[in-house]
Amino acid sequence: MFDRFYPGMSWAAHQARWPHAQHSRFVQAGGIQWHVQMMGQGPCMLLLHGTGSGSFSWRGLLPTLAQHFTVVAPDLPGHAFSSRGAEGALSLPGMAEGLRALLLQLKLTPQVIVGHSAGAAIAAHMALHMESLSRSTLIGLNPAWLPLPGVASWLFGPAAKLAALNPLSAWATAKLAAKPGAVSEWLGRTGSLLDAQGLDLYTRVLSDSGHVHGVLSMMAAWRLKPLAARLHEIRNPVFMHIGEQDQTVPPALADQACGLLPQAQQHVQSGLGHLAHEQDPTGTSQFILGCC
């Protein structure tokens, strides 16, 4: 709803200052125009960012991971430079289906899927529903595999739906994000402190009403209970990298996930928050490579 009022981000307006822009391409698949960054050679590694972010979230990890893998990092539907797609494309099953179409178009099958937060939920859903990924290694960075408690659950459900129904919500949120210090404050609430480049990139996307509209629409469509009910069925190798100071996805949820996934191995990193992989890309890259 109201999609016509919120065009996607303009690549031409941001390309000159976008990290790894020379590795960007646009691919039409599953009714979505995907912005994808691809780098490296070897087995395929799929990187899935979290809600509100984009492929730029992996900027510090891509060069290292690309020394060992063909790394594929898309903007999820409705985020940054990828289009929103048809109705239902921003739900968990819809995003997984869209990514299946993208991988078919690229003729790639990931040996490893790394997902941050909601991206980890998409990875788990794909592993459960796609036979070709039944043996892929799943790596969850602060994974949102279980329903969030308290206020966070409300924000990802009724509140997001109400916001998505209000044509002014995305515009108003983008205006707030453009104010000096706003994005820094918002990111600080996740338990993470980012460098100047990280703050600039998040300010760019969060002050764009098209991106914000996609994020709100995704949050309104998001349902984790069906995934949580089947999480125990996953037989893939599973690794978790947890920022001890995560204020968005409580680290205690990782312990609950381990109870459902006895094969899972968990690593907790002190002093880092929800965006731990952006705070410490070197350490996160080493962890990922050590799991493969």
Number of folded domains in the chain?
1
- In the DSSP assignment, the letter for residue 292 is -
**CA quadruple 164, 114, 106, 22: dihedral sign:** positive
Q: Which residues of 115-126 are buried (b: 16+ CB within 10 A; e: fewer)?
A: bbbbbbbbbbbb
**Rounded distance, CA 269 to CA 267, Å?**
7
Q: What is the CATH number of the domain that holds 163?
A: 3.40.50.1820
- pTM tops 0.75: yes
Q: Which amino acid is at 238?
A: V
Domain that holds residue 171: 3-291
Question: Angle of helix 209-221 relative to helix 169-177, nearest 10 degrees?
Answer: 120
In the chain (292 residues long), the average pLDDT of successive 10-residue segments reads 75 97 98 98 98 97 98 98 94 98 98 98 98 97 87 48 64 87 92 96 95 90 94 98 95 94 96 97 98 94
Q: Please report, as a single letter, which amino acid is at residue 49.
A: H
Residue 154 has a pLDDT of 42
Q: Is 52 exposed, middle or buried (0-12, 13-18, 19+ CB in 10 A)?
A: buried
Predicted confidence at residue 220, as pLDDT, reads 86
> In angstroms, rounded to a whole number, what is the distance separating the alpha carbons of residues 265 and 149?
23
Where are the alpha helices (H) located in the chain, listed in sequence order?
A: 11-14, 62-65, 92-106, 118-129, 150-155, 158-165, 169-177, 182-188, 196-206, 209-221, 225-230, 252-260, 276-279, 281-291
HSE, CB side, 13 Å, CA atoms: give it for residue 180.
0
Which amino acid, 177?
A
Q: What values do phi and psi take at 51, rounded to 5? A: -60, 130
pLDDT at site 163: 54
Q: Of 138, 154, 140, 30, whose CA–CA distance to 82 is shortest? A: 30
Q: Rounded to 10 degrees, what is the CA torsion of 261, 92, 118, 64?
A: 90
| Per-residue buried b or exposed e for 241-280, using 16+ beta carbons within 10 Å of the residue's own CB | bbbebbebbbbebbeebeebbeebebeebeebbbbbbbbb
CA distance 1 to 72: 30
pLDDT of residue 165: 56
Q: What pLDDT does residue 151 have?
A: 43
